[in-house]
Amino acid sequence: MEKTEVTDQDQPPVSDSLHAEATAAVPGETAAVTAPAQQTTSFSIQTFLRGDLGALPVALTLILIAIFFQITSHGLFLSPVNLSDLVNQIAALGAVGLASVLVLLIGEIDLSLGVVSYTCASVTGVLSVYHNWPAIPALAAGLIAGAVIGLINGFFIAVLRVPSFIVTLAALLGYQGVVLHLLGTNTSLNIFDPTIANLATTYLPDYLGVGLPVIAVALYIGVILFARLRRQSMGLAVAPAWTMWTQFGVIVVLTAVILTLFEAYRGVPQSAMILLGFVALFWLILRFTGFGRHVYAVGGNAEAARRSGINVTGIRIAIFTLASMLAAVGGILAASRLDTASSEVDPTLLLNAIATAVIGGVSLFGGRGSVWAVVLGSLVIGGLANGLGLLNANTDIVYMVEGVVLLIAVTADALARRRSLASGR
C-alpha cells in the first residue's frame, strides 16, 4: 500500500512543479504522521530559508543573467527576435534534457542520449531522402528507433543488472558507429521534406500561439487548486493561500509578457510548444499517476520500493525506453532546425542536457526533482551561450562559464541533500 508524506509546504514559493512530485513517500518507509484536521503551514523568513526553496534560486539566477546580458548587449538580449531564436536553439537541448531528468529521477545515468538523438535523426533523414518515405512514417520510424534503443539499454540494466554507466557508455560508442554507417561517406544529409524541415522552424498562428498557452495556464491553475482542495479534505497540511495565489500571479504575468514578446516578432515558435507539450505531459504522469509515484519511490530507495511490491525492473525499463524516445525527439528537432542530419555528434550535447536537469534542481542521487527543471535549466544554459555569443565571447569563455554554473548547481544539490538528511526530512 502506498503512503503519502506530509510536507511542510504544499507548493514551493515560485513554482509548485519543480519539486512537488518528490513529496510522495517511498513505499516501505515510515510515513509522516498526518493531522486529524486541516492544517495551514505558518510562514516566517527563517522557516522559508530552512525549507526547500524549489525553483527560487534558479529563477533568480535566470533573472540576473537576463539583466546582465540585456545591459551589456545594449538591449539585444531580450529583443523579440533574439528571444525567438533562443527558444528555437534550446528546444532540442530541452528534449534531451527532459530525457536526462527521467533517468536521473530513478538514480541512474544514460551517457548515450546525445548519440541516440543523432542516430534517430539519421534514421528519419535516410528514410525520407534515400527511400522517399512520407514525413509521418519517417518521423515515426525515428521515434520507434529511439524506443528500441532504450528498451535494449533498459534490459541490460534492469534485467541483467549491468551498471547503467557501462551499458550506456557502450551504447554511446556503438550508436556513434551506427550514425556513421547510416550516412556513409557523407558527414551530413540535407533533408528536403517540408514537413520535417519546418517542424522546428515555423511559428504557430495567433489563435494557437496565444490560445494554447492560455488554456495550459488555466488547466495548470485548475490542477493545483484541485490538489490543494483534495489535501484539505484529507486533513493534510497546506501552505498559506497567499503563496498559491502569488504563484498563480507570477505565472500569469510571465505568460503574458512572453506571449507579447513573441507576438511582436513572428509569433510563438512551434518548437517551443512541442517541448512544453512533452514537459506538461510528463509532469501530469509523474505527479498524478501511480507510475509517477513509483518512479520517485525507485529513485528514493529501490530496495524499499521492491519490498513494497513495486515492479522496479519494469519501471527502469520503461524509463530508459521513454528517455531514448525523448532523445529521438530532440534529434529530430535539431535536424529540422538545421535542415540536416549530421554524423558529427556534438560532444557537449549530453553534458549540457545533464546540466539542464541538475541546474533546474533534479538530484543526481535520484528521487527528487521535476520535469519542469528542464525549462529553467535549458534557459540558463541556452541564455548563457546566447548572451555570450551576442558579446562575441570566445568558445573557451562559454565553456568555462557553463562549467562554473554547473559546479555551483551540483554543490547546491549536495548541500541540500545533506541538510535534508540531517533534519530527518
pLDDT at 136: 95
Which of 1.10.3470, 3.40.50, 1.10.10, 2.70.98 would CATH assign to domain 16-21+53-203+269-417?
Answer: 1.10.3470
Residue 308 DSSP SS3: coil
Could you give the angle at which helices 80-105 and 241-263 cross, rounded to 10 degrees? 130
Helix segments in 15-160, DSSP class H: 45-50, 56-72, 80-105, 113-129, 135-154
Residue 9 DSSP SS3: coil
Burial profile 245-284: b = 16 or more Cβ within 10 angstroms, e = fewer: eebbeebeeebeeebebbeebebbbbbbbbbbebbbebbe
pLDDT at 313: 95
- Residue 212 buriedness (CB in 10 A; 0-12 / 13-18 / 19+): middle
Length of the chain: 425
Tens of pLDDT, residues 156-190: 999 999 999 999 999 999 999 999 999 987 788 99
Residue 198 DSSP SS3: coil
Q: Which of 274, 237, 240, 247 is nearest to 90 (CA)?
A: 274
- C-alpha atoms less than 13 angstroms from C-alpha of 327 in its C-beta half-sphere: 34
Give the global pTM: 0.83
User: Taking a C-beta distance cutoff of 8 angstroms, is the pair 139, 124 a contact?
Assistant: yes
pLDDT at 129: 93
Q: Which residues of the chain have pLDDT under 50?
A: 1-38, 41-52
pLDDT at 7: 40
For strand 188-190 and strand 39-40, is the pairing parallel, antiparallel, or unpaired? Answer: unpaired
